[in-house]
Amino acid sequence: MPGIFDLQNFLPFRLSRLAHEVSQRMASTYSEKFDIDIPQWRVLATLSAKEPCTAQSVVSSTRTHKSTISRAVSSLTETGWIERAPSDEDGRERLLRLTTEGRRKFNELVPVVLAFEHSLYAAMDQESMQNLASGISALENVLEVGTNSAKSKKVVL
């Protein structure tokens, strides 16, 4: 007979709750000053690292629903922070890029989000930070997500 299920200590539940809380609290550091929300932040951050790219690429990278990213892209296009251009490879596809204004605003955002990240790391000593990074990398590898994933290795949980 299996043990009693303890939701509060169930790793997937804890990770989901923590990710949500981190996103919400980080958003509170930039939302008022920059008038953007979490999906818009995710689009900007993705484009800053990988542009041009498609909205579908942002969806895949951020694991955010396509309709949410679509609304964020529309909003950021209206504000002039990003632009859409036709793809040379597929005329139906639109590539997203930061505009000059979008890059300027993103560069203003970076110190704010890095300060937030630093405040999280400040709660840990060096060994804890290294263990956290190793643990996250191990989970990314097992689940084949993130930049550290080993696509050739398939592990069933």
How far apart CA 36 and CA 28 sit, in angstroms, is: 10
Residue type, 12: P
Which residues neighbour 86 within 8 Å (Cβ) at sequence distance 6 or greater? 93, 94, 95
pLDDT tens profile 40-72: 999 999 999 998 999 999 999 999 999 999 999
- Above 50 in pLDDT, residue 149? no
Q: What class has domain 14-143?
A: mainly alpha
pLDDT tens profile 74-124: 999 999 999 998 877 776 788 999 999 999 999 999 999 999 999 999 999
Q: What is the pLDDT of residue 93?
A: 81
Write down the pTM of the prediction: 0.84
Q: What is the pLDDT of residue 151?
A: 46
